[in-house]
Amino acid sequence: MKSLRFLWPLALLAAVLILFTVGLGLNPREVPSPLIGKPAPAFSLPRLDDPTQQVSHADMLGKVWMLNVWASWCAPCREEHPLVIDIARRQLVPVYGLNYKDQATAANGWLKQLGNPYRANLVDADGRVGIDFGVYGVPETFIIDRDGIVRLKHTGALTPAVVRDKIEPLLKALNAAG
Amino acid sequence: MARPATNLLLALIFFSFLCLIASFVRNDFSVMNVASNSNSALPLMYRVAASWGSHEGSLMLWLLMQSGWAWAVATFSRRLPLPMLARTLAVMGLLTLSFLLFVLLTSNPFDRLLPVPLDGRDLNPQLQDPGMIFHPPMLYMGYVGFSVAFALAVAALIGGNLDTQWARWMRPWTTVAWAFLTFGIALGSWWAYYELGWGGWWFWDAVENASFMPWLVGTALIHSLAVTEKRGSFKSWTVLLAIMAYSLSLLGTFLVRSGVITSVHSFASDPTRGLFILVMLAITVGAALTLYAWRAPSVGLGTRFAMMSRETMLLANNVLLIVATAAVMLGTLYPLILDAFGLGKISVGAPYFDAVFAPIMAVLVFFMGVGPLSRWKQDEVPALARRMRWAAGVTVVCAALTAWVGGSMGFMSVVGLLMAFWIVTTVAAELWEKLRPVGGVRANILYRLGQLSRAHVGMMVAHVGVAVFVFGVTMVGTYDIERDVKMAPGDSTTVNGYTFTYVGVQPTTGPNYQAMRGHLTVTRDGAAVTDLYPEKRVYRVQRSPMTEAAIYSRVRGDLYVQMGEVIEGDTWLVRIWVKPFVAWIWFGSLMMGLGGMLAVSDKRYRQRVRETAVQPGTAAASVR
Amino acid sequence: MPQAELAGPTSSRSRLGRTFFWFCALAIVLAVSLPTISLAREAAPASADPVLEDRLMRISSELRCLVCQNETIAASSADLAVDLRNQVREMLRAGKSDAEVYQYMTARYGDFVLYRPPVKPATWVLWYGPAVLLVVGLVTLWWLLRRRNRMAADQFDAEDSALPEPHNNNGPGQRQGPTR
């Protein structure tokens, strides 16, 4: 019995090793969004194709929609763009773009070159709306439901696996919920 | 057998390391490591330093240190009984083997890159600095040096003989490793101060903490060894500390290279490497701790000492240092713990560590003062209190005076001052006790001073070093002034009595960078003080902008100037800091390390004949 | 005074005198005013409100830059850090308190953005752990020592098995003989 108390360092080691083994599978840079389950922030931004027209958060109520944050200076955005186009083509969900801290000419040129899957592109020139959404890098993608509640946030480029395993099931559930 | 094998291992690893350095010096870009971390325009000394600037290269440095320390043990331990020496060298050999496997299987620095690129991607500009040349080697000397203590502990556990003799052997090795680690950490801190351009010197970054934890445990170990050597008591605790110190070095290696924790310092992370180190940790530390659990119950109690005695003070020191280590570890790993349990992601940064660490240190410093004034084996509280009262009085007076002269001090700053003065006054009090004439025997003070052992002087120097350090931290934390101004040529601003006049900027070129070099003259009461030349550099290959702050350093404080950004034409945003007593931080650390080195050069470690004569008898008597 | 004297043509000498007079006057005026012209201007502070800037720096040094490798938004030069600093500056100008700024940031980025972790049940161990550990450690030490001292003398090593010190570093007051 007396000798059992000398095992505590080993127990501590075991705990630390288990922690690290689990840790190897985690990503310390990934920041979960506190907005999930909360209303999307209010916004009113000009459209990229027609700056005189404004789109606001109120306009988006009543439908499930996807907000894709992108910029012409962002390299990973190029990589995920075919997927976004595909999502729009398959009419999974209406896709709206948030053109983050970009120039109109560059943005338009980028869309012309790579294709425009967006119902509308909202221009966030100074990044303020981005901050409200908790954007800290591009690209990022949000799914917002009919009541304007944020349901999903994905940081980084979309991948087929993410679309298949996370987005599609979520869309199915949200659309079914009426 | 063990000695020649150890020597051969060092020779081979050293040769290998030389090959790597040669590849860097010769700009052999067919070696992937050279291509990723060097460039033909890179000055020679940085090409050499770049050989340990990457993950793979730094492991080669680790291997060199590991085999180097083993060689040192083999060469300088003539007094160690052969079985003990053999086991120690064997353990160190195994440690070297595990790192060799790591390098060969996952991190080969000699991997080829074909087709051979025309030039390399250059060393990170922040590493192109003299401080960076010495910081990793010093640090690794310390980290890896603790493996000697580890090996001695494991060898003793295997052999089953934990006696005071063993503690005496371990002490100098541990102290030297600790001193190097002190120098390494201090260098890193100083480098961050002058290189990163923000005047900060410690960020509680995960990798900094990873180097600090072995240091804290190493400090505890040095003090615990004092008790074990003196009284033969708390042996199993000392063994545990010896195992812990090196384990924390390994832990640090894991944190830096696995990507489990984000840090400015981390090498490019790779989970496979992380897994390997984890396995290495599990086997190395697991085996040592299993041995500990097996042998510790049968270790003897040593000799008696009273509840109030220097031994108790030293053990209190241990408790505080271990709690401090635990606090740092908790803070560093907590984000990972919460994430692993799915409880969300948080950050734990300087505000936490400062809040938690400082109070623990304050209590520790109190014991630092009481310890040397207390008697070995048995002391009385009233007598001890009497010895301390002068020191306590002077402390309060000096702290009050300093606070009054400096003005507007917060609570923690006052605590800092009290801490610093407490250490100095108690060291002085102890010195006085030893030097004052004792009834009848009027021996002269200088003679008594000369009689003080180096170990004792070393301890005093190291402790005063802590006081100097705390003073620097307190003063710069309280009285640091920053001023951001827009400056056109001819403009001036006055900060704390110093007038900074902006002369202008000039473009300039370095061996592998282009820069805008500002010029400011500094005067005080009309008299010229110095000229400062801060730079804003752009390194050609990596194209990353970097600020080189201009620093004028004096005992009283530093003047620190940084070029911000250009506002228009010749007008720049200039940041000026006046940092009182900031250099005391590193000077204090230097004193700590030097104190350690001084203590190791004590005569007792150089006595050979008497030791070998005493050995067989005591070894037989102490075997359990 | 007869007007004719004044109306007469000026002699060359008096013309020279007058020129010289004006020249001196100009020289004196310039000599007096030039130092004033070249006197160094007091540099303008980088921001209109240094007190606000200090507060900004203090708050930003507790906020994490999410795109950096462990840096505060005060120290980082990343775009997001600059944007967030500007945001904080605006909020401070609008009269918001420190707490409101932190609340704003955590509402958008979560607790991850705070370098001072919030005190909530999940972080109780973090914040109170070290203090608890300190108390437990010191109490354990005291208890261990007391138990040790209660043990019979035969449990301990013999006094002289402890090696004699070559140097008597016995602490104050013990100068009488080497044995302890």
B540-582 tens-digit pLDDT: 887 878 888 999 999 999 999 999 888 888 889 899 999 999 9
Residue A15 domain flag? no
Task: Establish if A119 belongs to a structural domain.
Answer: yes
Q: Is residue C137 part of a domain?
A: yes
Domain at C63, CATH number: 1.10.8.640
The domain in which residue C57 lies consists of: 50-113
Cα gap B52→B61, rounded to integer Å: 6
Mean pLDDT of C29-36: 54
pLDDT value, residue B413: 92
Span B504-525, average pLDDT: 91
Which of B409, A136, B114, B308 is closest to C83 using CA atoms? A136
Among the listed residues B99, B100, B236, the one whose alpha carbon sits nearest the alpha carbon of residue B162: B236
Q: Among B168, B307, B374, select the one facing C145 at the smallest CB separation.
A: B307
pLDDT 10s digits, A68-116: 999 999 999 999 999 999 999 999 899 999 999 999 999 999 999 999 9
Inter-chain CB proximity A127 and C83 less than 8 Å: yes
- Strand A65-70 and strand A95-100: pairing? parallel
For testing the chain A interface, which of B260, B330, B346 should be mutated: the one with the most A CBs within 10 Å? B260
Give dist(CA B475, CA C40) in Å, integer.
32
Chain A residues in contact with C106 (beta carbon < 8 A): 34
CB contact under 8 A, B165 and C163: yes
Measured CA to CA, the distance from residue B212 to residue B185 in angstroms comes to 8
Domain encompassing residue A80: 36-176
Let me know: does B258 contact B273? Beta carbons within 8 Å. Answer: yes
The set of long-range contacts for C49-54, using a CB threshold of 8 Å and a minimum separation of 24, is C49/C93, C50/B483, C50/B484, C52/C89, C52/C92, C52/C93, C53/B484
Write the pLDDT tens digit of every residue in B290-315.
Answer: 999 998 888 877 788 888 999 999 99
Q: Give a yes or no: residue A21 inside a domain.
A: no
Domain annotation covers residue A10: no
- Cβ count within 10 A of residue B304: 19
Task: Using DSSP, state whether C163 is helix, strand or coil.
Answer: coil
* Residues B68-87 as b or e (16 or more Cβ within 10 Å = b): bbbbbbbeebebbbeebbbb
Give chains near B: 3+ CB pairs under 8 A. Answer: A, C
Number of structural domains (chain A) is: 1
Residues of chain C in contact with residue A128, where contact means CB-CB under 8 angstroms, are 87
Nearest CB among B263, B316, B607 relative to C141 is that of: B316
Task: For residue A4, tell me if it sits in a domain.
Answer: no
Domain tally for chain C?
A: 2
Read off the DSSP letter of residue C172.
T
Domain membership flag for residue C158: no
Residues on chain C touching A127 (C-beta within 8 angstroms): 83
Q: What is the pLDDT of residue A105?
A: 93
Nearest-CA distance from A1 to chain B in Å? 10
Whether C11 has a pLDDT exceeding 70, the answer reads no
User: Nearest Cβ partner of B346 from C41, C117, C140?
Assistant: C117
Which residues of chain B neighbour A26 with C-beta distances below 8 Å? 260, 336, 339-340
Specify whether C99 is located in the same domain as C147: no
Query: Domain residues of chain B, as ranges?
Result: 1-107+117-122, 481-581
CA distances (Å), B606 to each of B72, B459, B601, B609, B611, in order? 15, 18, 8, 9, 10
* Residues B374/B308, Cβ–Cβ less than 8 Å: yes
The confidence score (pLDDT) of residue C28 equals: 67
C86 and C125 inside one domain? no
Confidence of residue A1 (pLDDT cuts 50, 70, 90): low
Does residue A68 lie in a domain region? yes
Q: Which of 85-104 (B) contact C at CB < 8 A?
A: none
Rounded CA separation C175/B115 (Å): 76
pLDDT grade, residue B467 (50/70/90)? Answer: very high
Which residue of A lies nearest to C80 if distances are taken between CA atoms?
A136
The structure tokens 């400082």 sit at: B358
Residue C175, in any domain of the structure: no
Buried residues in C62-91 as b, exposed as e (16+ CB within 10 A): bbbbbebebbbbbbbebebbebbbebbbeb
Q: How confident is the model at residue C158 (pLDDT cuts 50, 70, 90)?
A: low
Q: Once rounded to an integer, what is the mean pLDDT over residues C41-62?
A: 86
Q: Is residue C36's pLDDT more than 60?
A: no
| Neighbors of chain A by Cβ distance (3+ pairs < 8 Å) | B, C
Beta carbons of A102 and A72 less than 8 angstroms apart? yes
C84 & C129 share domain: no
The whole-number average pLDDT for the span A30-48 is 92
Given an 8 Å threshold on Cβ–Cβ distance, is B251 in contact with A16?
A: yes
Note the pLDDT of residue A4. Answer: 76
Q: Give the pair of three-digit tokens for residue B520.
A: 């400011």
What confidence score (pLDDT) does residue B435 get?
Answer: 81
**CA B277 – CA B260 distance, rounded (Å):** 12
- Ranked by mean pLDDT, the top range of B46-60, B184-198, B347-361 is B347-361
Could you tell me the CATH number of the domain that includes residue A87?
A: 3.40.30.10
Our CA-based measurement puts residue A101 at a distance from the nearest CA of chain B, in whole angstroms, of: 21
Measured at the CA of B27, the angle between CA B21 and CA B28, to 5 degrees, comes to 85
In the three-class reduction of DSSP (H, G, I as helix; E, B as strand; rest coil), residue B54 is classed as: coil
**How distant is the Cα of C78 from the closest Cα of chain A, in angstroms?**
11
Q: How far apart are CA C46 and CA B177, in angstroms?
A: 47
Q: Cβ neighbours of residue B616 under 8 Å, at least 6 residues apart?
A: none
- Whether the per-residue pLDDT at C37 is higher than 70: the answer is no
Max Cα–Cα distance, chain A, nearest Å: 81
Assess contact for B10 and B144: CB atoms under 8 A.
Answer: no
Residue B288 confidence (pLDDT) above 90: yes
Task: Count residue pairs from A and B with Cβ separation < 8 A.
Answer: 72
Mean pLDDT along residues B369-398 = 90
Q: What residues of B are in contact with residue A7 (Cβ under 8 Å)?
A: 293
Do C101 and C55 lie in one domain? The reply is yes
Q: Rounded CA gap, A25 and B62, in Å?
A: 27
Residue C93 and residue C54 share a domain: yes
- Contact B490/C at CB under 8 A: yes
CB contact under 8 A, B258 and A7: no
Work out the average pLDDT over B392-412.
90
**Confidence class for position C1, pLDDT limits 50, 70, 90:** very low
pLDDT above 80 for A178:
no
The rounded percent of chain A whose pLDDT value lies above 70 is 98
Read off the pLDDT of residues B363-383 as tens digits, 9 standing for 90 and up. Answer: 999 999 999 999 888 888 888
Residue of A nearest to C107 (CA): A34
Let me know: does B154 contact B94? Beta carbons within 8 Å.
no
Per-residue pLDDT of C38-50, as tens digits, reads 455 787 887 778 8
The subunits that touch chain C, with at least 3 C-beta pairs less than 8 Å apart, are: A, B
**Which region among B161-175, B260-274, B304-318, B342-356 has the lowest average model confidence (pLDDT)?**
B260-274
